[in-house]
Chain A
Amino acid sequence: GESVGLHLPTLSVQEGDNSIINCAYSNSASDYFIWYKQESGKGPQFIIDIRSNMDKRQGQRVTVLLNKTVKHLSLQIAATQPGDSAVYFCAENINTGGFKTIFGAGTRLFVKA
């Protein structure tokens, strides 16, 4: 995931604009990637996922892009709404015999009305 640190990256966008949140993952062997959204006072919730044999997947207003060459993930949110304000985490599933999910540090999205 993103580099570990004390400062949470933030992104501020105007309502109605598109948002792009980026993430660098760590393990070349990871084969499943997920984006989660965490609203204040709640646990993270699944948004969209992508397997390593794909480079793009679309959901409702969201698109995830995967670039395995540079180990980069991005989440695109179309027509960003105030309800999209949250912290967004990318995550990768690493095979450990079973698997475990490793999270990035997160990006806080602010949507300005």
Chain B
Amino acid sequence: DVKVTQSSRYLVKRTGEKVFLECVQDMDHENMFWYRQDPGLGLRLIYFSYDVKMKEKGDIPEGYSVSREKKERFSLILESASTNQTSMYLCASSFSRQGDEKLFFGSGTQLSVL
């Protein structure tokens, strides 16, 4: 089975801190994604990557950056955390770029910014 592992289940940070959310997948998938999930808003795409050292902005990239130095690892970075970034963050991966592949999700990181 594909496994997508997010390093933390819960995080509490202070406003202005730099925050790293880590995600690792074990199935050699090409594509990796970061979403945030807020009640009633569904999942919104922050950033995604089709290859190592490659990144693309999603629908809500402001306030975030990403890093993909290795194929299996995709990191989401909050340069200066703010309270409106309190949310559930979900990492996902998929195999191909053909647009016909389902996503495999991690269990999520609930981030609280105080």
Contact = CB atoms under 8 A, between A and B. Distances in A.
Contact of B107 (A8, A31, A41): A41
Interface string B1-32: 00010000000000000000000000000010
Interface in B17-57: 31, 33, 35, 39-45, 48, 50, 56
Nearest to B110: A41
Contacts, number: 75
A34 B102 contact: yes
Given A43-B108, A46-B102, A100-B58, A5 B45 contact: no
Contacts of A8: 39-40
A102 B33 CA distance: 12
A11 B6 CA distance: 31
Contact of B45 (A2, A45, A102, A106): A102
A34 B44 CA distance: 16
B105 interface: yes
A80 to B, nearest CB: 22
Given A1-B42, A5-B41, A99-B98, 15 more contacts: A5-B40, A8-B40, A31-B100, A32-B100, A43-B90, A46-B103, A49-B102, A96-B56, A98-B31, A98-B50, A100-B33, A102-B45, A103-B35, A103-B42, A103-B43
Interface of A: 1-2, 4-8, 31-32, 34, 36, 41-46, 49, 51, 89, 91, 93, 95-96, 98-106
List of 7 A-B pairs having minimum Cβ-Cβ separation, nearest first: A43-B105, A99-B99, A6-B40, A103-B43, A105-B42, A46-B102, A103-B42
